[in-house]
Chain A
Amino acid sequence: MINVANLTIEAIREALAARRFSAVELATEALRFAEAENPKTNAYLHFCTERALAAARTVDDRIARGEDPGVLGGVPVAVKDVIVTRGVRTTCGSRLLEHYIPPYDATAVQRVEAAGGVIIGKTNCDEFAMGSSNENSAFGPVRNPVAPDRVPGGSSGGSAAAVAQGTAVVALGSDTGGSVRQPASFCGVVGVTPTYGRVSRYGLTAFASSLDHIGPFARTVKDSATLLGVIAGRDPCDSTSAPVPVPDYAAALDRNVKGLKLGLPREYLNDLTSESGDLIHRGVDTLRSLGCEVREISLPNTDYAVACYYIIATAEASSNLARYDGVRYTFRSGHSETLADMYRNTRGEGFGAECKRRIMLGTYVLSAGYYDAYYLKAQKVRALIARDFQEAFQQVDAIVAPVSPFPAFKLGEKLDDPLEMYLSDIYTITGDLAGIPCMSVPCGKTADGLPVGMQILTRHFDETTMFRLADAYEHTHN
């Protein structure tokens, strides 16, 4: 009997090598388990059984021929439904794309499968990745596997829930303002936002192009590092993907972080007096006990991050979502006499409330007369926020911070106040604005049993230090 929920990438590799089970047997069990569990969480929007079994057969064939099955050989992977999969429906959590079947694979998807990964299904998310609770999906919210009356976080809520409930060993999500780290923290798993440009965005449905990242979810730091190693690296199909060598992240996990300098941003922790704050402080104590030097630092422009982010992200979104006009992507409003009506009706009927709100805000801040006051101003503030981090990284090797001001909240609890929901993104959007690598690693649970994540942020392209710290912490904490 295979227990998918207990498996790691390494355990699968060993089991396949020892012929304890085949990749096809593992894929079959993962699909059975995921389909059986799905009514509890709504984590998956659809399963790709045929594709998964074909990928698993390829892995078994490689093993039978005595070849290496690949770094992810046989590993069941879930993929957020904003990442395109050739021939497999990709809805972005939107009515507009309910029947959209992409004609190509995202680069990250190609790389996962080339490394032997077995994609079992596409996961639920906030519509076009816009949201912090996964309640903006056109196909119903995802429930947190740890506490089913609560949200899993968003926007990659389905990917976080799939890994937390154990139906996938690892998953791909996307992060524009915290959409990997926040659900990872809410569901008690590891979530990684790599450096901007580290992973190709080719095939990631664009939300805000200067902020969008594909990032891994896993139950262990090592598995998240392994998955990032597979998907990272230059891709000619994305001109913003960086021609920077990708180190062997998993091999660098040496459990020796003595002497590393850690910064605690006072702007993040002074206001955080909740249980989440206590758990972060305990996490910092653990890192100190491992020999890290901890000092307080300042990121003085933190207070302006939410305003800055919601100008830039919505401006870019309003442009990126302009393509959903009823001409090319499956959905067209049925009753329009003129072309202009067809655009307006298609978009009015197709988009959900949060997408409309952001399209409106983004269009407003870009409109004539407001461009300088809002968009240009925000780009300047973004430069200041990035500079805050650059200056901090002259003093420290990594920054430790909270992920969210609170743990998973109840479904419906924050739906009526969009601004409050936006403000709760404060600790995660700064990393996206600066484009630096950041991750959430579980650091305990509240008295109510709700998981809390600790965030680790490092310099551009220094994912290695981030993973080393997170791995050493995880090893000691558990």
Chain B
Amino acid sequence: MKITENEVRYVAGLANLNLTDVEVAKFRADLNDILQHIDKLDEIDTSAVEPMTQVLLDTDETATLRADVPVTSLGNQAALANAPQPGAGYFKVPKVIER
């Protein structure tokens, strides 16, 4: 196995993802299969290749900048309309700092 259950739990922690024990076992097996397939990439020598960090458009660097003109923003009410717990114009979350 390329990945241990502990590593699966560690990665789930990084991803802020609560997993059940059943999920941990399942994802360990799935990730193992996928990572084994991904090892194929070791076959190619890419030492002289520049990474493709974006789909490049052959154009002037500033061609996709918009004019610096202010536009009306959504506004507080619309921005909060989908909040699970809005309050006093803010997103409310469980207490972070103890008094």
Number of A-B contacts (CB under 8 A): 166
When distances are taken between beta carbons in the complex, the residues of chain A under 8 Å from B3 are 364
Interface 1/0s, chain B 46-83, versus A by CB < 8 A?
10011111110101000111110000001000110111
Is there an interface contact between A383 and B49, defined as CB atoms closer than 8 Å?
A: yes
Partner of B34, one of A103, A332, A336, A418: A418
User: Quick one: closest B residue to A341, CB to CB?
Assistant: B94
A-B contact sample (15 more), CB < 8 A, given A307-B40, A322-B16, A351-B17: A103-B79, A197-B55, A304-B40, A307-B38, A336-B94, A347-B16, A353-B26, A360-B11, A360-B17, A363-B14, A377-B46, A380-B49, A380-B50, A383-B50, A422-B34
Give A residues with C-beta under 8 Å from B: 99-101, 103-104, 196-197, 210, 234, 236, 239-244, 301, 303-304, 306-308, 310-311, 318, 322, 325-332, 336-345, 347-349, 351, 353, 356-357, 359-361, 363-364, 367, 374, 376-384, 386, 418-419, 422-423, 435
Given contacts A310-B34, A380-B46, contact A196 B94 (CB under 8 A): no
When distances are taken between beta carbons in the complex, the residues of chain B under 8 Å from A341 are 94
Q: In the complex the two chains form, what is the Cα distance from A445 to B31 in whole Å?
A: 36
When distances are taken between beta carbons in the complex, the residues of chain B under 8 Å from A318 are 15
Partner of B27, one of A304, A332, A357: A357
Given contacts A361-B34, A363-B15, A367-B14, contact A384 B49 (CB under 8 A): yes
When distances are taken between beta carbons in the complex, the residues of chain A under 8 Å from B96 are 338-339
Given contacts A356-B23, A364-B31, contact A328 B41 (CB under 8 A): no
Interface centre among B19, B66, B84 (most CB of A within 10 A): B84
Is there an interface contact between B94 and A339, defined as CB atoms closer than 8 Å?
A: yes
Is there an interface contact between B44 and A304, defined as CB atoms closer than 8 Å?
A: yes
Is there an interface contact between B83 and A303, defined as CB atoms closer than 8 Å?
A: no
Q: Could you write out 23 A-B pairs with CB less than 8 Å apart?
A: A103-B79, A103-B81, A104-B74, A210-B54, A242-B57, A301-B44, A307-B37, A307-B38, A331-B84, A336-B94, A338-B94, A348-B18, A353-B23, A353-B26, A360-B12, A363-B15, A364-B7, A364-B31, A364-B35, A380-B50, A381-B49, A386-B52, A423-B37
Q: Chain A: interface secondary structure?
A: helix
Is there an interface contact between B41 and A377, defined as CB atoms closer than 8 Å?
A: yes
When distances are taken between beta carbons in the complex, the residues of chain A under 8 Å from B43 are 304
Partner of B94, one of A241, A306, A342, A349: A342
Interface centre among B12, B34, B79 (most CB of A within 10 A): B34
Is there an interface contact between A360 and B16, defined as CB atoms closer than 8 Å?
A: no
Q: In the complex the two chains form, what is the Cα distance from A286 to B3 in whole Å?
A: 50
Is there an interface contact between B33 and A418, defined as CB atoms closer than 8 Å?
A: yes
Given contacts A240-B64, A328-B83, A342-B93, contact A367 B11 (CB under 8 A): yes
Is there an interface contact between B40 and A379, defined as CB atoms closer than 8 Å?
A: no
Is there an interface contact between B49 and A357, defined as CB atoms closer than 8 Å?
A: no
